[in-house]
Amino acid sequence: MALADPECGKSNGADSASPFSDIIELNVGGQVYVTRHTTLIAVPDSLLWNMFSKKTPTELARDSKGRFFLDRDGFLFRYILDYLRDLNLVLPDYFPEKIRLQREAQFFKLRELSKLLSPKMSKDNSITDEICQSDSEEPSATPLVGLDASRTLSVASTAHSPSLESKKSGYITVGYRGSYTIGRDIQTDAKFRRVARITVCGKTSLAKEVFGDTLNESRDPDRPPERYTSRYYLKYNFLEQAFDKLSEFGFHMVACSSTGTCAYSSSDPNEDKIWTSYTEYVFCRE
C-alpha cells in the first residue's frame, strides 16, 4: 500500500514527475472528498488542472487537517467530480440546482459542462434531441454514435411526473419537539409555544435536494452525500413549510408517531399543566 508523505504530499504510487500524491483529499465548503490526482487534471486548462498540475502542494490552501481546501459549494462539487471521472454527468430526478451547478462549472472552467447545463442550447445541437427528451417519449434503444464523451449529458427531466426509471427513491424523517398548556376548566384559551427546532434525518443528498439552503448542516458539515445523518435541522419553524417542500419533490407521508409528557408549571396543582411532546413524520419517495 502506498504511504503518503505528509510534507510534500507524495506517495509511493504517485507519478514521480508530480509533487502531488496519487490519492488526494479535498475539503470543498466543508464536504470532504477523496479522489485521484488524475481525475482532478482530466480536463486541460480547467481550474483544477491548473491547481494540481501547474502549482505545488505548498502553494495551495489547506484546512486544519491538511486537506486541500476549496471555498465552493460542497454539495454541488460531487457532480463536478462525477463529470471529471468519465466526462459524463447524470443528475438526480427533481434536481433544482441546475443553474447553480452551471455557475460552479463556469468557476471551475469546465466549458463543455457549462454549455450542456445552459438553459439555452442551439436548435441544431443533436444532444438536445437525443438526451434531453421529455418524459412522454420512450428512451432510445440505439446507443449514441459519433458523439464525443465530453458532450454527453444525461439529465432527468424536472417535470412534475418524472419517469419511474430515473426517480431516486428514499426516506426522510422530519421531527420536532414542542410544548404547550391546555389551560384550566375556567379558562377558554390555551397557550402554545412555537416549535423550537425541526430536525431532518435521512440521506444527506436527499435532504439537501429537498431543503436546499434552508437546511442547517452546521452540526454535521463533513457528512458525505451518500451517507445518512440525524443531525440536520431547518432554519424555519413551520412544519407546513417543510411538508410543502417534501410534497413538491415527490415525497408522501407513510407514518408518524408522537410521545408526550405532562407536568405542572409550579407545585400548585391548580396551575396550568405544561405538555411536552416529540413527534416524527416519515416521508417516502418510491
Going by their DSSP bridges, the two strands 273-285 and 252-264 should be labelled as antiparallel
Q: What string of DSSP letters covers 46-63?
A: SHHHHHHHHS-GGGS-B-
143: its cell numbers: 446507443
- Domain end residue (candidates: 117, 135, 155): 117
Length of the chain: 286
Query: CA 189 to CA 191: how far, in whole Å?
Result: 7
Report yes or no on 146 lying in a domain. Answer: no
Instruction: Name the domain count of the chain.
Output: 2
Query: CA 113 to CA 128: how far, in whole Å?
Result: 14
Report yes or no on 67 lying in a domain. Answer: yes
Which of 75, 71, 32, 27 is closest to 205 using CA atoms?
75
- Domain end residue (candidates: 95, 117, 139): 117
CATH of the domain at 69: 3.30.710.10
Contacts of residue 134, defined as CB under 8 A and 6 or more positions apart, other chains included, come to 157, 159
Q: Which pLDDT tens digits describe the chain residue by residue (286 residues)? A: 344 444 334 444 445 578 899 999 999 999 999 999 999 999 999 999 999 998 999 999 999 999 999 999 998 999 999 999 999 888 877 778 888 999 999 999 999 999 888 875 445 444 443 333 333 333 444 444 444 444 444 443 343 444 434 457 899 999 988 777 665 555 555 555 556 789 999 998 899 889 988 888 887 777 787 889 988 999 888 889 999 999 999 999 999 998 878 766 666 666 667 778 889 999 999 8
For 203, the domain range is: 170-183+192-285
pTM here is: 0.43
- Domain end residue (candidates: 75, 102, 117): 117
174 with 280, same domain: the answer is yes
Report yes or no on 204 lying in a domain. Answer: yes
178 with 264, same domain: the answer is yes
Q: What string of DSSP letters covers 237-256?
A: --HHHHHHHHHHTT-EEEEE
In eight-state DSSP terms, residue 11 is: B
Q: Give strand pairing partners of 111.
A: none
Report yes or no on 89 lying in a domain. Answer: yes
Query: CA 174 to CA 212: how far, in whole Å?
Result: 15
